[in-house]
């Protein structure tokens, strides 16, 4: 649903990945003078985590570096942040250092944090659960292509859902759904490419 809202100028869009951010971003959304849409992923309803006592407000438009790394930047939102973290842990075993960015908000987008990370790592993988047809992942990829082109060792890559209605059968759903394993496979292929900056 956040992709639909992204097409409406003037709306701020929030999508937290864990309980503390749910509380903090919701508090910021309530205090904001502009209309803010807060999207919760149903698969995260049962997630547990520590939340600070007292007033807790997370500023809108500030991404979080969930995990630091030097070889590739994994960019996620909401449920895909957890997938990125799991993928980063698997990649560590392969000797790959992956940085994980939680966008937290799509509008305002913390493009500066994403660009700073990608300029350090030279590689960007955007992980979006929605179909790959347009969407917020395409918007982030466009920004990286325009503003970090010379810093990229390889093309910006996206891991996204299939461009089809979600199948009912579980095996077919798994085929088109995003997962940590698919992120690991994508990163491995991306890092195997020659560094375009050396050309």
Higher-pLDDT residue of 134 and 151 is: 151
106, containing H or E segment = strand 105-107
Q: How far is CA 38 from CA 29, 173, 183, in A?
A: 8, 26, 26
Instruction: Quote the number of domains for the chain.
Output: 2
pLDDT exceeds cutoff 70 at 100: yes
Confidence of residue 12 (pLDDT cuts 50, 70, 90): very high
At residue 164, the pLDDT reads 84
Residues 182 and 147 in one domain: yes
Residues 18 and 79 in one domain: no
Residues 69 and 18 in one domain: no
Confidence of residue 148 (pLDDT cuts 50, 70, 90): very high
Percent of the chain with pLDDT over 90: 77
At residue 150, the pLDDT reads 95
User: Over the stretch 101-144, which tens digit does the pLDDT of each residue have?
Assistant: 999 999 999 999 999 999 999 999 999 999 888 889 999 999 99
The SS3 of residue 164 is coil
Average pLDDT, the chain: 94
> Is 138 within the bounds of a domain?
yes
Provide the CATH number for the domain around residue 155.
Answer: 3.40.50.920
- Match 């799991």 to its residue by tokens: 86
Residues 111 and 184 in one domain: yes
At residue 199, the pLDDT reads 67
pLDDT exceeds cutoff 80 at 79: yes
> Is 52 within the bounds of a domain?
no
Residues 82 and 40 in one domain: no
> Is 58 within the bounds of a domain?
no
Question: What strands, in cross-sheet order, belong to the sheet with 98-102?
Answer: 64-67, 98-102, 72-76, 124-131, 157-161
Residues 15 and 111 in one domain: no
At residue 19, the pLDDT reads 93
Least confident of 30-44, 110-124, 161-175: 161-175
Residues 37 and 126 in one domain: no
> Is 101 within the bounds of a domain?
yes
> Is 53 within the bounds of a domain?
no
> Do 143 and 106 form a contact (C-beta atoms < 8 A)?
no
What whole-number distance in Å separates Cα of residue 96 and Cα of residue 159?
A: 18
pLDDT exceeds cutoff 90 at 172: no
pTM of the model: 0.94
At residue 92, the pLDDT reads 97
Instruction: Provide the residue range defining the domain that includes 69.
Output: 64-198
Closest-CA residue to 75 (of 165, 140, 139)? 140
Higher-pLDDT residue of 40 and 174 is: 40
> Is 73 within the bounds of a domain?
yes
């Amino acid at each position: 649903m956040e992709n639909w809202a992204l097409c409406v100028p003037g709306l701020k869009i929030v999508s937290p990945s864990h309980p503390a951010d749910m509380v903090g971003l919701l508090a910021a959304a309530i205090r904001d003078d502009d209309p803010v849409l807060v999207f919760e992923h149903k698969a995260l309803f049962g997630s547990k985590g520590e939340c600070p006592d007292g007033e807790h407000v997370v500023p809108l438009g500030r991404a979080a570096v969930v995990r630091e790394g030097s070889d590739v930047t994994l960019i996620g939102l909401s449920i895909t942040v957890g997938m990125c973290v799991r993928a980063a842990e698997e990649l560590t075993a392969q000797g790959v250092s992956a940085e994980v960015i939680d966008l937290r908000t799509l509008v305002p987008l913390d493009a500066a944090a994403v660009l700073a990370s990608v300029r350090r790592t030279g590689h960007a993988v955007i992980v979006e659960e929605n179909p790959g047809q347009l969407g917020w992942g395409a918007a982030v990829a466009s920004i990286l292509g325009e503003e970090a082109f010379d810093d990229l060792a390889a093309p910006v890559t996206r891991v996204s859902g299939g461009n089809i209605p979600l199948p009912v059968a579980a095996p077919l759903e798994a085929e088109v759904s995003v997962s940590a394993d698919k992120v690991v496979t994508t990163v491995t292929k991306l890092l195997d490419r020659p560094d375009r900056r050396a050309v």
